[in-house]
Amino acid sequence: MLPMFEPSVHSSRRKALLSSLAAGDDPSLRNGLLVFPGNRESPMNYPDNAYRFRQDSSFLYFFALAEPDLAATVDLATGESTLYADELTEDMLVWTGPRPSVREQADSAGVERVSPRDRLAADCAGRRLLYLPPYRAETAAELAALAGTDPGAVASGASMPLVRAAIALREIKEDREIGRIERAVDISIDMHLEVVRAARAGMTEAELMAAAYRVALAGGGMPSFPPIATTRGAVLHNHGYGNTLADGGMFLLDAGAETDDGYAGDLTSTFPIGGRYDDRQRAVYGIVLEAGRAAVSAIRPGVPYREAHFAAARAIATGLAGLGLMKGDPEEAVAAGAHALFFPHGLGHQMGLDVHDMEGLGELLVGYDGEPRSTQFGLKSLRMAKPVKPGMVLTVEPGIYFIEGLIERWKAAGKFAQFIEYGELDGWKGLGGFRNEEDWLVTGSGARRLGKPFDKSVAAMEAFRLP
Ligand code: GLY
Ligand code: MN
Ligand code: MN
């Protein structure tokens, strides 16, 4: 990964973090030490065969450095930061090549002090440690050792003031970050165009997956998450790639790029393998697009993202009523949760250095400000519900799915029979799944779609197809 921004950007972020913690006026924090363990290599099947290294996103945000085995602290008493890292050994020089000295690395992040990696434990001794919740076992183990607690108790010992302060900073994207995210979205758009153009009956899902990967890698980074490239769009997280494409079916691609400096894009397209939507496919896809428009028109500073989710859900209930698949008042159907038979997930999530941005810091804080989350089927899967602010980046990803087993279960139970036309639905069950996902920036008055033009209309999706 490339270094991120100039050193002052990262030192300013750490200063902002310190100011935010100081403003909380919690006397117990005054002598605290913020501890940020960077990520280590993670083996796949034996120690030297590791997954692609990915630095922790908060570490990238505050310390810029994307090498494994680093750690850093910020001392609340002095305001100084320290990078804990080891100089290049002869073996490292041979196997992984040259790299800047520790002092140079620290300078590139505006970090005042440097120290050998194994000094971290001694420097933490006797201090009140504040850390973000770990999501890797080895990080939990190190934090447990540093804090003198049980690894099982480490996550619950994460500092809530620090978590809240980190979220408040990271969720408002700086203009320089928007530029990087747009680059990720542009590469993501190219991934999608490549797949839409290439898809043909007789190909396997894996061939299209490879096409998407090729564009992401050629863009300098990687996919931002394992793509969903499937002929079975009604299986929401379908991660097998063995099916063969057949004319008449739909293909669903949920894929995005991560740039070489760590920013994510996340898009979904649903298109007909044969090149033309049939009448039913066109109708359902059109409702998904309309749901996206309805959602976007509800995005405004101060308005809870839950309202945008409901706007999409109402558009889906209304559209499906037009096809004879739902009935009754769409508002009541959505309030009851009946639409979730077709739209069982949430409208979207924040996006930035993580594709589900900051989810490792706790989805309830990131998406709900710590407020309770619904337990209703469908609504419980909404990741982001809280009021939006200018500078937030959000995905808008409504979908309609014909999940055969779920339809059969609900029909047998007579569930929401006042809102769902089960008799009519029987004839639609094989239609699959449709989702459209775009990435949007909250502005001062509404929202702006990120990335270069990418027309998702029926006519445009059909026209992208090469002859
Ligand atoms: N890529 C997973 C999602 O859309 O949230
Ligand atoms: Mn996605
Ligand atoms: Mn998404």
pLDDT of residue 146: 97
Position 23 pLDDT exceeds 80: yes
What CATH code would you report for 7-170? 3.40.350.10
Nearest CA-CA partner of 408 in 394, 429, 438, 435: 429
Same fold, 7-170 and 175-463: no
Beta bridge partners of 32: 128
- Over residues 207-217, the pLDDT tens digits come to 999 999 999 99
The letter for the amino acid at 215 is: V
User: How is the chain split into domains, by residue range?
Assistant: 7-170, 175-463
For ligand 1, is residue 171 a contact (CB within 6 Å)?
no
For ligand 1, is residue 438 a contact (CB within 6 Å)?
no
Longest CA–CA span in the chain (Å) reads 73
Give the pLDDT band (50/70/90) at residue 151.
confident
For ligand 1, is residue 363 a contact (CB within 6 Å)?
no
pLDDT of residue 275: 95
* C-alpha count within 13 angstroms, C-beta hemisphere, residue 451: 25
Residues 216, 223: Cα–Cα separation, whole Å: 6
Rounded to the nearest angstrom, the distance between the alpha carbon of 254 and the centre of ligand 1 is 7
**Among residues of the chain, what percentage have pLDDT more than 90?**
94
For ligand 1, is residue 258 a contact (CB within 6 Å)?
no
For ligand 1, is residue 56 a contact (CB within 6 Å)?
no
Give the pLDDT band (50/70/90) at residue 465.
confident
Nearest CA-CA partner of 220 in 181, 187, 194, 195: 187
For ligand 1, is residue 266 a contact (CB within 6 Å)?
yes
**Tokens encoding 384:** 């982001």
Give the pLDDT band (50/70/90) at residue 368.
very high
For ligand 1, is residue 439 a contact (CB within 6 Å)?
no
Task: Kindly report the number of other CB atoms within 10 A of residue 130's CB atom.
Answer: 25
**Among residues of the chain, what percentage have pLDDT more than 70?**
99
When pLDDT is averaged across residues 266-282 and rounded to a whole number, the result is 97
Ligand 1 atom with the shortest distance to the CA of 356: 5
Rounded to the nearest angstrom, the distance between the alpha carbon of 355 and the centre of ligand 1 is 8
pLDDT of residue 168: 98
CATH topology of domain 175-463: Creatine Amidinohydrolase (3.90.230)
- Over residues 49-99, the pLDDT tens digits come to 999 999 999 999 999 999 999 999 999 999 999 999 999 999 999 998 999
**Tokens encoding 456:** 């998702």
pLDDT of residue 3: 56
Position 46 pLDDT exceeds 60: yes
Rounded to the nearest angstrom, the distance between the alpha carbon of 384 and the centre of ligand 2 is 14
- In this structure, are residues 308 and 382 in contact, taking their beta carbons and an 8 Å threshold? no
Q: Looking at the chain, how many residues does it have?
A: 467
pLDDT of residue 393: 99
Residues 292, 311: Cα–Cα separation, whole Å: 9
- Over residues 371-393, the pLDDT tens digits come to 999 999 999 999 999 999 999 99
> pTM score, two decimals?
0.97
Rounded to the nearest angstrom, the distance between the alpha carbon of 434 and the centre of ligand 3 is 14
Rounded to the nearest angstrom, the distance between the alpha carbon of 267 and the centre of ligand 2 is 5
